[in-house]
Amino acid sequence: MTNAALILIDWQQGFDDHIYWGGNRNNPNAEENALKILDQWRAQNLPIFHCIHNSLDPNSLLRIEKPSGQLKPGFEPRGNEPLIVKNVNSCFIGTDLEDQIKQSKLNNFVICGLTTNHCVSTTTRMAGNLGFDVSLIADACATFDRTGLDGKVIDAETIHQISLANIHNEFCVVRNTVDILG
């Protein structure tokens, strides 16, 4: 992936509160894998876009004025790496991300972040619909348990795998870190 932009989604400290988000987060190595990808992009001087969620709910952990709304250590933008602030699940709605990607003259990019079934999936779906070629990195994303409509808990790994299966070869190609890093 020597000619692709990297989009990092919502690597915010508030996601460390697993109970708040439903408990039992899957993929405990997601941050480690995402940082490896970020390091390679920086080493190759490729475009990097950091997206962060600023919830409209004043009680949310994902408010950028709160410590929990800040990026996790190692994910902070450097140099000319833009920070895209969004208020909804898609990194494209209400932001200039699409314009910035087009200015980079790249039509393909790599996505990783939190959470697989929310902002990662929504952004990936929109990117595919906008005509971009997207690789989504499965082992550099994660999610949490959710309670179904019937009151039963659906485990995070099942949600993660179903979310990936729903978008693979439709809106993106799902890959793993080793596929990207070579």
Instruction: Report pLDDT digits (tens) over 118-172.
Output: 999 999 999 999 999 999 999 999 999 999 999 999 999 999 999 999 999 999 9
User: What integer pLDDT is reported at residue 1 of this predicted model?
Assistant: 60
Reported as a single tens digit per residue, the pLDDT across 105-119 is 889 999 999 999 999
Q: What is the pLDDT of residues 44-96, one digit of tens each?
A: 999 999 999 999 999 999 999 999 999 999 999 999 999 999 999 999 999 99
Distance of CA 72 to the CA centre of its chain: 13
E strand or H helix that includes residue 114: strand 108-114
Helix H or strand E segment including 84: strand 83-86
Distance (Å, rounded) from C-alpha 15 to C-alpha 67?
Answer: 11
Going along the chain from its start, the domains and CATH numbers come out as 5-181 (3.40.50.850)
Full-model pTM: 0.96
